[in-house]
C-alpha cells in the first residue's frame, strides 16, 4: 500500500496544477497535531485507529514526551477531489512562541496556511502571530475551528448558541487578517468565510468535520451533529462526515497551487533583478529552468545524515547536481533527493519546481539558505521576530565528549538560526543563547538525551543591551603610535529605523538605492542615508569624511574596531543596539605599516566606547508580554505573580468561563515563572509569553546590575571613567 502511495506521489509531483503546499499552524494545544494525524490517516498514510495516539508528526522523542510540537516536520500525501488526485505537501509548525523562527521558515515553503482555533478558547496570541507570519510571506489563510464537541458535551450549547460562538471566532480572526492586510497592496481580500468555503468546523478528537460544501452534500449540519454527539454516535458522525475529507477538500479547492501562488509570492520574498530569466522561471514554476531551492529546515537522520528540506521554486532537483549555497564560496553536490511521507523520507528520481523536497549532500546549507544552479541574489532573509534574550552555559561532564559536544552544538545552530552558539574550546564552557527558558531547555535535553552526551548546564542568564540615550560630543580616538586619529560622534537611532533593521527591511545586502529609500522612509535625512558605510546589529556607521587619503583601504579595519566596540559595550560588555556612529574626520599615517590592525582597531574601539559613554549609554533589559488564563478565584494570585516580578498588569477581562490577565514583565524576573504560577494557582492557570523587545532599566537598578554582570564576566569592578552620572 505504501509503495502505491509513493508511486502516486511521484506521478503527481510533475503536475503543479494538482499540488498544494500547506502548513498547519495554531496556538499551542488547539489541536494541530490531532488534526494532522487525521489528515494522514484519511490519506491512508497511517492507520485510522492509531491516528491521535500515534502522533506521526511529532517524531522527535522529546516532543512526544512533552506533548508539544517543536520542529516543523514534513509529510506528503494524496487526496482525490472532484475526480482529480492531488498531491498535498504538509508542513507542521511548532505552536510555542519560543520556536517562532521555525514557524516563519515553514511559511516560506508553503502557499496556504490552515489556521486551527479552539472553539472554546477562541483566537489567542499565537493565532495572531502565525497569521501575521503567513500574510507577510504571501501565504493564504483558511480556518479550522476545532473542539466543537466540547461546546456540545461540556458547555451544553444548542444550535443557536453554537452558531453565535463560531461566528464570533470567525469575526475575531477576520479582524486580525484585515488589520494585517490593509497595508499590503498586492493581497486581495483574504478574510475567511463559511459561505466562501474557507472555514470548516469539527472535532479532531472524534474525527468529524463540516463545512458549507459538506453540509450541502451530506445534509449533516448543526442539529444533526448535536443529536449524534449527545447520543454517543460519534463513530457514525465520523463515517458520514469525515474530518479529513472535509479539510482536504477545502485545501484542494481554496488554496492556490504553485502556478497561481509563485507569481505573487516571488516578488514578496525575492528582491533580485526581475528582468532576469531566473525571475521569470521562478514565477512560471519552470521545471526546465535553473534550479532554485530554498532550504527551510535542516534535520539529522541517523542513517542518511543531514537532511535539508525546502521548496523548489524553479528547475528540477536531481541526484549528482552541483549547486551553489548562498553565503558560502563553493558548491555542494546533491547525494539524494526525496519526499517526506508520514515522517519517513522516500528517495525519488527527481523533484521538480513547485514541490517540497528533502535532499542530502548540502553540507554548507543552513535553514534559510538559497541553493541554486547559477549564482543569484538569495531570497530575502527570513524575518526573525525576536532576538536571543537568554543564555545558558553547557559543559560536557567528560572531556572525552568535548569533540562530539562541539559538533552537536554546531549542528543545533544550523538547524535553528534563532539559536546562537559561542564555543569556547579553552574552558570547555560553551554558551547557547535563545528565545526563552523553554527553548534552551529543549535544546539541552536534546544534547543530553538524543546525543547521549552527559552535560552540566549553568543557570539561565539574561542577555542585556547597551544603548545611547543622547547625542555625544565629538571624541578623538588615537592609535598607540599616536600617528592615526579618528573623530567620532554617536547618536541614538530612532525606534523606527531599529525596527526596520531588525525586520530585515534595511540591510547591507540590498541594493544601495533601495536601502537609502527604506532609511529615508523610516525618517533618516537624505545626506545621512547616502553615507551609510556599514550596518552591524542594529547599529549604523556613517562616513561623513571627504577625500581623506588612504581611508578607503583602511575602512575594513575601522569597521573591525567598530564591531569589537559594539559587540562588548562599555558598561558591561553586552551588545550595543540602536547607535548611529558618525566618522567625521580621520588622520592617517602615510605608510601602511604604521596604520595596520594593531593601530587602527584600538583607536576606533576606544573612540566608540568613549563616545557611547558621553552619549549616556544605559543598560536595556529584555521584556515579555505575559498572558494568563485562570478561573476567577485565582485571578488575584495570577496578577500578583506578574506584579511581584517588577511587572505591570495592563488588562483583566472575562473570556468564556475564565479570566484573562495581561501584562508585561522583564525576562530576568520570568525565570522560574512556570513552577511559581503552577503552585500559586493550584495548576489551574495556562499562560503564554512573547518577547516584546528591550527597555531601559530603571536608574536605581543600573549600577547594581552592571556590577553583577561585570563580576560574572570577570571584568574590572568599576565603571569606566566618566560614567559618574548614575
Ligand atoms: P497542538 O498543541 O495544537 O498540537 O494540540 P494537540 O493536537 O496536541 O491537542 C491538544 C489537546 O487537545 C490534546 O489533549 C487533544 O486530545 C485535545 N484535542 C484535540 N482536538 C480535540 C477536539 O476536537 N476535541 C476535544 N475535546 N479535544 C481535542
Q: State how far the Cα of 423 lies from the Cα of 568, in Å rounded to an integer.
A: 17
CA 598 remoteness from chain centre: 39
**The pLDDT value given to residue 102:** 56
Residue 628, φ and ψ in degrees, nearest 5 = -125, 130
Cβ atoms of residues 626 and 664 within 8 Å: yes
| Residues with a CB atom less than 6 Å from ligand 1 | 26, 28-34, 67-69, 95, 146-147, 149-150, 203-205
Atom of ligand 1 nearest to the CA of 35: 7
Q: Report CA(259)–ligand 1 centroid distance (Å).
A: 34
Q: Give the pTM.
A: 0.68
CA distance 368 to 295: 5
In which residue are the cell numbers 548614575 written? 726
Residue 51, pLDDT score = 45
Cell reading at 457: 548546564
**From 205, 210, 244, mutation site for ligand 1 pocket: most ligand atoms within 8 A of C-beta:** 205
* 595-640 tens-digit pLDDT: 999 999 999 999 999 999 999 999 999 998 888 888 899 999 999 9
d(CA 79, CA 246): 11
pLDDT confidence of residue 45: 62
**Shortest-distance Cα residue to atom 15 of ligand 1:** 31
Pocket perturbation via mutation, ligand 1, pick of 30, 33, 34 by most ligand atoms within 8 A of CB? 34
ipTM: 0.99
Give the whole-angstrom CA distance, residue 23 versus residue 311: 13
Per the annotation, does 147 bind a ligand?
Answer: yes
148 is in an annotated binding site: yes
Q: Is 29 annotated as a binding residue?
A: yes
Please check whether residue 243 is in contact with residue 204, taking contact to mean a CB–CB distance below 8 angstroms: yes
* Mutual angle of helices 222-230 and 159-181, in 10-degree steps: 120
* Contact (CB, 8 A) for 436 and 442: no
Residue ranges of the chain with per-residue pLDDT less than 70: 1-2, 43-73, 92-104, 183-188, 342-343, 381-386, 417, 721-726
For 605-653, the DSSP string reads: HHHHHHHHHHTT-EEEEEEEEEEEEE-GGGHHHHHHHHHTTT-EEEEEE
What's the gap in Å between 439 CA and the centre of ligand 1? 22
Amino acid at each position: 500500500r505504501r509503495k502505491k502511495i509513493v508511486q502516486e506521489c511521484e506521478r503527481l509531483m510533475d503536475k503543479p496544477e494538482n499540488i498544494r503546499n500547506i502548513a498547519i499552524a495554531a496556538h499551542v494545544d488547539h489541536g494541530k497535531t490531532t488534526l494532522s494525524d487525521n489528515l494522514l490517516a484519511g490519506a491512508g498514510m497511517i492507520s485510522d485507529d492509531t491516528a491521535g495516539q500515534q502522533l506521526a508528526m511529532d517524531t522527535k522523542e522529546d516532543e512526544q514526551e512533552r506533548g508539544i510540537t517543536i520542529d516543523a516536520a514534513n509529510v506528503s500525501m494524496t487526496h482525490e477531489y472532484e475526480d482529480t488526485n492531488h498531491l498535498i505537501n504538509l508542513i507542521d509548525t511548532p505552536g510555542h512562541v519560543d520556536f517562532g523562527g521555525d514557524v516563519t521558515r515553514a511559511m516560506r515553503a508553503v502557499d496556504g496556511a490552515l489556521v486551527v482555533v479552539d472553539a472554546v478558547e477562541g483566537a489567542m496570541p499565537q493565532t495572531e502571530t502565525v497569521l501575521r507570519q503567513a500574510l507577510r510571506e504571501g501565504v493564504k489563510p483558511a480556518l479550522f475551528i476545532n473542539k466543537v464537541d466540547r461546546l456540545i458535551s461540556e458547555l451544553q450549547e444548542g444550535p443557536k448558541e453554537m452558531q453565535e460562538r463560531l461566528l464570533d471566532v470567525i469575526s475575531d480572526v477576520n479582524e486580525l487578517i484585515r488589520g494585517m492586510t490593509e497595508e499590503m497592496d498586492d493581497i486581495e481580500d483574504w478574510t475567511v468565510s463559511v459561505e466562501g468555503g474557507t472555514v470548516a468546523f469539527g472535532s479532531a478528537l472524534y474525527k468529524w468535520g463540516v463545512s458549507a460544501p459538506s453540509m450541502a452534500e451530506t445534509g449533516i449540519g448543526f442539529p444533526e451533529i448535536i443529536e449524534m454527539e449527545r447520543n454517543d454516535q460519534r463513530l457514525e458522525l465520523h463515517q458520514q462526515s469525515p474530518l479529513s475529507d472535509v479539510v482536504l477538500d477545502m485545501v484542494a479547492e481554496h488554496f492556490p497551487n504553485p502556478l497561481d501562488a509563485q507569481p505573487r509570492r516571488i516578488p514578496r520574498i525575492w528582491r533580485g533583478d526581475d528582468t532576469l530569466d531566473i525571475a521569470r522561471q521562478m514565477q512560471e514554476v519552470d521545471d526546465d529552468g535553473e534550479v532554485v531551492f530554498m532550504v527551510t529546515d535542516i534535520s539529522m537522520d541517523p542513517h542518511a545524515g543531514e537532511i535539508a528540506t525546502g521548496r523548489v521554486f524553479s528547475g528540477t532537483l536531481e541526484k549528482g547536481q552541483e549547486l551553489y549555497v548562498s553565503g558560502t564560496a563553493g558548491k555542494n553536490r546533491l547525494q539524494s533527493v526525496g519526499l517526506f511521507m508520514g515522517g519517513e523520507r522516500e528517495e525519488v528520481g527527481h523533484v521538480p519546481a513547485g514541490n517540497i523536497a528533502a535532499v542530502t549532500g548540502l553540507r554548507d546549507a543552513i535553514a534559510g539558505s538559497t541553493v541554486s544552479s547559477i549564482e543569484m541574489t538569495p531570497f530575502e532573509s527570513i524575518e526573525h521576530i525576536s532576538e536571543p534574550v537568554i543564555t545558558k552555559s553547557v559543559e560536557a561532564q567528560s572531556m572525552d565528549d568535548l569533540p562530539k559536544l562541539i559538533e552537536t552544538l554546531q549542528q543545533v545552530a544550523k538547524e535553528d538560526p534563532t539559536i546562537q552558539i559561542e564555543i569556547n574550546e579553552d574552558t570547555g564552557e560553551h554558551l547557547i543563547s535563545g528565545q526563552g527558558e523553554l527553548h534552551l531547555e529543549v535544546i539541552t535535553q536534546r544534547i543530553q538525551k538524543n546525543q547521549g552526551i552527559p552535560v552540566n548546564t549553568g543557570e539561565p542568564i539574561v542577555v542585556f543591551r547597551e544603548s545611547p540615550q543622547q547625542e555625544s560630543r565629538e571624541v578623538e580616538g588615537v592609535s598607540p603610535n599616536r600617528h592615526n586619529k579618528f573623530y567620532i560622534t554617536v547618536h541614538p537611532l530612532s525606534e523606527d529605523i531599529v525596527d526596520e533593521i531588525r525586520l530585515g527591511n534595511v540591510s547591507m545586502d540590498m541594493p544601495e538605492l533601495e536601502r537609502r529609500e527604506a532609511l529615508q522612509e523610516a525618517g533618516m535625512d537624505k545626506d545621512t542615508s547616502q553615507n551609510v558605510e556599514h550596518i552591524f546589529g542594529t547599529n549604523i556607521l556613517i562616513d561623513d569624511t571627504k577625500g581623506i587619503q588612504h581611508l578607503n583601504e583602511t575602512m575594513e579595519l575601522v569597521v573591525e574596531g567598530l564591531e569589537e566596540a559594539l559587540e562588548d559595550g562599555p558598561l558591561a560588555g553586552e551588545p550595543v543596539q540602536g547607535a548611529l556612529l558618525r566618522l567625521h574626520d580621520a588622520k592617517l599615517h602615510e605608510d601602511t605599516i604604521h596604520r595596520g590592525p594593531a593601530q587602527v582597531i584600538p583607536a576606533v574601539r576606544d573612540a566608540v566606547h568613549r563616545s557611547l559613554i558621553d552619549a549616556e549609554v544605559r543598560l536595556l533589559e529584555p521584556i515579555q508580554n505575559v498572558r494568563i488564563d485562570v478561573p476567577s478565584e485565582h485571578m488575584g494570585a495570577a496578577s500578583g505573580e506578574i506584579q511581584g516580578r517588577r511587572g505591570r498588569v495592563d488588562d483583566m477581562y472575562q473570556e468564556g468561563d475564565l479570566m484573562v490577565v495581561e501584562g508585561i514583565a522583564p525576562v530576568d524576573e520570568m525565570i522560574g515563572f512556570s513552577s511559581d504560577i503552577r503552585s500559586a494557582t493550584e495548576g489551574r492557570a495556562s499562560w503564554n509569553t512573547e518577547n516584546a523587545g528591550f527597555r531601559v532599566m530603571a536608574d536605581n537598578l543600573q549600577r547594581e546590575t552592571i556590577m553583577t554582570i561585570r563580576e560574572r564576566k570577570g571584568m574590572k569592578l568599576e565603571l569606566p571613567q566618566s560614567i559618574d552620572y548614575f
